[in-house]
Amino acid sequence: MASEDIFQTEYSEEPELEVEQRMETEPLDAAEAEDETEDVNPTEDTTPPENAAAEKPVATKSAADHEPEAKLTQLPLGRVRNIMKLDPDMHVATHEAVFAVTKAVELFIASLARESYTYTAQSKKKTVQKRDVELAISAVDSLMFLDGAMNF
């Protein structure tokens, strides 16, 4: 019940996010680089947006159809496919299926972050701690599958 409320807030903002992201990526990355170690491999996610931005003035229209994946998902499709392939029973998955899983994982990360943050806010803090994530996992029914998979 409670979980649904939080999980539902997502999709209204998704489409604009994609558009905004193009413009925001560079300043955002610069800001991230300053504030902590999260940019261990910055090349990985700065390159595609830079390419897109570089192409844009030259060919506004055709830039859109060059690298669809780079624009539509933030997580790399190939990486998600590799994880999917860990399942020995999985034979073939269509590109669309991999895309759908990738998008679902992105939504999942956002919802888990938001869910965790409610516990952070409850204890009047600004920084999400591991404890908040664990509390979120044990509180939400649909996250039950994570119990026991998290301690390694």
- Considering only residues 49 through 68, tell me which ones interact with other proteins, judged by CB under 8 A: 55, 58-59, 62-66, 68
Q: Which residues contact 141 (CB under 8 A, 6 or more apart)?
A: 3
Report the residue number, 34 or 65, with the smaller CB distance to other proteins.
65
Query: Does 135 engage in binding with other proteins (CB under 8 A)?
Result: no
CB of 127 to other proteins, least distance (A): 4
CB of 50 to other proteins, least distance (A): 14
Phi-psi region of 124 (alpha: psi -120 to 50; beta: other; left: phi over 0): left
State the virtual CA torsion across 26, 32, 34, 40 in degrees, nearest 10.
-100
Report the residue number, 34 or 92, with the smaller CB distance to other proteins.
92
Query: Does 47 engage in binding with other proteins (CB under 8 A)?
Result: no
- Indicate the angle between helix axes 77-84 and 95-122, nearest 10 degrees: 90
* Residues 69-98, interacting with other proteins (CB under 8 A): 71-72, 74-76, 79-80, 82-87, 89-97
Distance CA 74, CA 69 (A): 8
CB of 79 to other proteins, least distance (A): 6
